[in-house]
Amino acid sequence: MVSLWGRWMEAESYYVHGPIAALAFIWLTYSALRTTKKNPRKPYTTLALIVLVSIITLYFQIQRIRFGEYLGISTIFVLGVVLFWGVESLKKLRWALWFLLLALPVPSFVLVHLSFYLRQLAVVLVVAFFKLTPLTIQQDGNLITYGAHWV
């Protein structure tokens, strides 16, 4: 959790929305589960899954595979909800779980790949916009040149 907080707070981060999404997740979870009855059964399978996911999460933490660590912590939380409130409670948490996923940092290889295509899309849209104006621009890959200026 310390590394997740550090990821959220680092300079020039893509993840500054993480604490807000986490707070929304906590509030939505509390709102959904405060009226839900506790699970009367003894779900030993869920408890075994929590132990297994905890071991895998610990391995990810030792190997510094951050996304696996974050996903493991989230999975442990979801399994804890199932343990105490039953599988039916997950239906009440469907919106809260989206906020939980939104709070998790995306793996860097996905971010790099996605940002490349988003930059290309931005260039195509800017060029299409400038074609509607009398200005002349020149595009070379992701580089847009207008007179002596380039973006």
Give the DSSP per-residue string, the chain: -HHHHHHHHSTT-S-TTHHHHHHHHHHHHHHHHTTSPPP-S--HHHHHHHHHHHHHHHHHHHTT-HHHHHHHHHHHHHHHHHHHH-TTHHHHTHHHHHHHHHHSPPPHHHHHHHHHHHHHHHHHHHHHHHTTSS---EEETTEEEETTEE-
**Which pLDDT band holds residue 72 (cuts at 50, 70, 90)?**
confident
pLDDT of 2: 65
pLDDT of 1: 60
pLDDT of 33: 86
pTM exceeds 0.85: no
Q: At what angle do helices 2-9 and 66-85 cross, to 10 degrees?
A: 120
126-136 pLDDT per residue, tens: 888 888 888 77
Q: Find the mean pLDDT for residues 85-110.
A: 84
Q: Find the mean pLDDT for residues 85-90.
A: 82
Task: Name residues whose C-beta falls within 8 Å of residue 30's C-beta, 6 or more positions apart in sequence.
Answer: none
- Burial annotation 120-136 (CB, 10 A radius, 16+ → b, else e): eeebeeeeeeeeeeeee
Give the pair of three-digit tokens for residue 127: 């060029």
Whole-number percent of the chain with pLDDT over 90: 2
Mean pLDDT is lowest, of 12-21, 25-34, 74-83, 95-104, for 12-21
pLDDT of 27: 92
Mean pLDDT is lowest, of 16-30, 79-93, 132-146, for 132-146
> In terms of residues, how long is the chain?
151
Answer whether residue 41 shows pLDDT above 80.
no
**Do residues 105 and 70 make contact, with C-beta atoms less than 8 angstroms apart?**
yes
